[in-house]
Amino acid sequence: MRTIEWKDDGVYIIDQTKLPHELNFIVCKDYERIALAIEKMEIRGAPAIGVAAAMGIALAAKNSKGKSIEEIKKELIKAKRRLASTRPTAKNLFWALERMEKVWENANSSEEIIENVIKEALKIAQEDIDSCRKISEYGSSLIDDGDKILTYCNAGGLACVELGTALGIIKTAFRKGKKIEVYVPETRPLLQGARLTAFELKMEGIPYKLITDNMIGYIMQKGLVNKVIVGADRITRYGDVFNKIGTYLIAISAYIHKIPFYVAAPFSTIDANALPEDVIIEERNEKEVLYINNMLIAPSGTKVLNPAFDLTPGKYVSAIITDKGIIWPPYDFSTIK
Ligand code: MRU
Predicted local confidence at residue 1, as pLDDT:
85
Per-residue pLDDT, averaged over 136-155, amounts to 98
239 and 299: one domain? yes
| SS3 call for 176 | coil
- pLDDT-above-90 percentage for the chain: 98
308 CA to middle of ligand 1, Å? 9
Same domain, 224 and 124: no
| 167, 191, 233, 271: residue to mutate for ligand 1 pocket, most atoms within 8 A of CB | 233
> What does pTM read for this prediction?
0.97
158 and 16 Cβ atoms separated by less than 8 Å = yes
How far is Cα 23 from Cα 80, in angstroms, rounded to an integer?
Answer: 29
Helices (H), the chain: 31-39, 46-63, 69-84, 91-105, 110-140, 166-175, 192, 198-204, 216-221, 247-256, 287-290
Average pLDDT over residues 231-243: 98
The set of residues, in sequence order, having a beta carbon less than 8 Å from that of 112 and lying 6+ positions away, is: none
What is the C-alpha separation between 221 and 210, in angstroms, rounded? 17
Residues whose beta carbon lies within 6 Å of some atom of ligand 1: 44-47, 90, 153, 155, 159-160, 165, 192, 231-233, 243-244, 308
Q: Domain boundary residue among 111, 133, 155?
A: 133
- The reply to whether omega before 185 is within 30° of 0 (cis) is no
Q: What is the mean pLDDT of residues 200-210?
A: 98
- Most distant CA atoms of the chain, gap in Å: 67
Whose C-alpha lies nearest to ligand 1, atom 2? Answer: 45
What local confidence, expressed as pLDDT, does residue 293 receive? Answer: 87
Cα–Cα distance measured from residue 179 to residue 148, given in angstroms and rounded to the nearest whole number: 9
Say if residue 162 is in the same domain as residue 285: yes
The overall average pLDDT reported for the chain is 97
Which amino acid would we find at residue 47? P
Which pLDDT tens digit goes with each residue over 17-61?
999 999 999 999 999 999 999 999 999 999 999 999 999 999 999
User: Same domain for 127 and 162?
Assistant: no
Number of separate domains in the chain: 2
Q: How far is CA 290 from CA 86, 109, 304, in A?
A: 22, 51, 8
Contact 223/234 with Cβ under 8 angstroms?
A: no
Q: Are residues 36 and 109 in the same domain?
A: yes
* Per-residue 3-state assignment (H helix, E strand, C coil) for 89-145: CCHHHHHHHHHHHHHHHCCCCHHHHHHHHHHHHHHHHHHHHHHHHHHHHHHHCCCCC
CA gap 192, 199 in Å, rounded: 10
Give distance in angstroms: CA of 78 to centre of ligand 1: 26
Is residue 157 domain-shared with residue 303, that is, in the same domain? yes
Same domain, 145 and 129: no
Question: DSSP secondary-structure letter at 282?
Answer: P
What separation in Å is there between the alpha carbon of 193 and the centre of ligand 1?
10
pLDDT at residue number 337: 72
d(CA 68, CA 46): 34
Q: Give the CATH number, domain containing residue 271.
A: 3.40.50.10470
Same structural domain for residues 112 and 153? no
Helix residue ranges, H only, 106-246: 110-140, 166-175, 192, 198-204, 216-221
Cβ atoms of 40 and 17 closer than 8 Å: yes
For residue 105, the Cα-to-chain-centroid distance in whole angstroms is 28
Q: Which of 115, 133, 151 is the last residue of a domain?
A: 133
Q: How confident is the model at residue 202 (pLDDT cuts 50, 70, 90)?
A: very high
Report the separation in Å between the CA atom of 161 and the middle of ligand 1, taken as the mean of its atom positions: 13
Range of the domain at 123: 4-133
Same domain, 94 and 128: yes
For residue 262, the tally of other CB atoms under 10 A from its CB is 22
Q: How far apart are CA 80 and CA 286, in angstroms?
A: 27
Q: Which residues are catalytic?
A: 233
Q: Residue 277: which pLDDT band, with cuts at 50, 70 and 90?
A: very high
Cα distances from 259 to residues 23, 176, 228, in angstroms, run 36, 23, 7
pLDDT digits (tens, 9 = 90+) for 77-115: 999 999 999 999 999 999 999 999 999 999 999 999 999
- Whether 129 and 142 share a structural domain: no
Return the pLDDT at 336. 82
Do 295 and 306 share a domain, yes or no?
yes
pLDDT for residue 332: 97
Indicate if 167 and 226 belong to the same structural domain: yes
The one-letter code for the residue type at 234 is R
